[in-house]
């Protein structure tokens, strides 16, 4: 994917993502994990984590 086509793809979201940088903890299958919140919108979050989920 070229840079210009990547930008078009990213701009097709119904709700824009708001950048955010902060450490968080989240629960997945009753376990607590650390992560970093990268961005968010009313429809979702992008969380960066070193954990692997199956």
* pLDDT score at 19: 93
Distance CA 38, CA 26 (A): 14
Residue 37 tokens, joined: 């919140």
* pLDDT score at 32: 95
Pairing of strands 18-28, 31-41: antiparallel
Residue 18 tokens, joined: 């708001």
Q: Tens of pLDDT along 1-54? A: 455 555 555 567 788 899 999 999 999 999 999 999 999 999 899 999 999 887
H-assigned helices in 1-54: 3-10
This prediction has a pTM of 0.65
Specify whether the CB–CB gap between 37 and 46 falls below 8 A. Answer: yes
Residue 33 tokens, joined: 């994990």
């Amino acid at each position: 994917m070229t840079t210009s086509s990547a930008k078009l793809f990213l701009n097709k979201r119904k709700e824009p993502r708001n950048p955010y940088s902060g450490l968080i903890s989240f629960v997945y299958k009753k376990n607590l994990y650390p992560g970093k919140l990268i961005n968010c919108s009313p429809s979702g979050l992008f969380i960066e984590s070193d954990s692997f989920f199956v």
